[in-house]
Amino acid sequence: MSRQTGWFAGLFVVALACWQWFNPTAEQPVTQQNYHPDFIAKNLASVQYNQLGLPYRGLNADYAEHYEPLAMTLMEKPVILLYSPDGQPEWRLSGDEGILNTNDNAVLNGTVVGKGLQPDAVVHTLTTEYLELDFINNQLRSNRAVQLTSPNYQAQGLGLLGKIDQQTVELLHETRATYVTP
């Protein structure tokens, strides 16, 4: 082997070593953690009570998977019941799918329907494709098209902000309403 061939062979080995060292595809793959549900429930029914023993939140779902490390529950056909401070049902909110983040918020997707359950409720029915319930701030939020109905009016708009404890909702953009006088 000539001196020139030895240099080329040495350079080739160094280049091959550098290529392996710096090649991003040669890195070890990032381990992706596969989460498995901590429990699975069918026909789930749950009610949470306040310190006085009165219900303040209820949850029903056809199917639910709870993931403790993520502090979240995935649900099919969820129904969330919200109660007034005196334990009377105020809202019934349902969707095709939902996510419940433990003690924080819930998100309903698909065909979302909210029913005001109080006799004097300003909103009797709320429909949208997406609704977020913020349990910390007692708010309802949506960034999608929303329709509100009651015996006296119908309103449509884009986006919603509601205050659960005050029984109020506000359509945020492109609002149209039709009022009916009795």
User: What pLDDT score was predicted for residue 36?
Assistant: 85
Is the pLDDT at 170 greater than 90? The verdict is no
In CATH, what number is assigned to the domain containing residue 150? 2.60.450.10
Tell whether 18 is covered by a domain: no
Handedness of CA 134, 138, 140, 141 (dihedral sign): negative
Mean predicted lDDT score pLDDT of the chain? 85
**Most confident residue range from 18-22, 27-31, 146-150:** 146-150
Tell whether 11 is covered by a domain: no
Tell whether 106 is covered by a domain: yes
Residues 6+ apart with CB under 8 A from 76: 61, 62, 63, 64, 96, 97
Give the pLDDT confidence of 34-81 residue by residue, as tens digits: 778 888 999 999 999 989 999 989 999 999 999 988 889 999 999 999
Tell whether 19 is covered by a domain: no
Tell whether 53 is covered by a domain: yes
- Domain carrying residue 43: 39-179
Q: Would you say 44 and 64 are in contact if contact means Cβ atoms under 8 Å apart? A: yes
Cβ neighbours, 10 Å, residue 112: 23
> pTM value?
0.77
SS3 27: coil
Domain count, the chain: 1
Q: Would you say 143 and 167 are in contact if contact means Cβ atoms under 8 Å apart? A: no
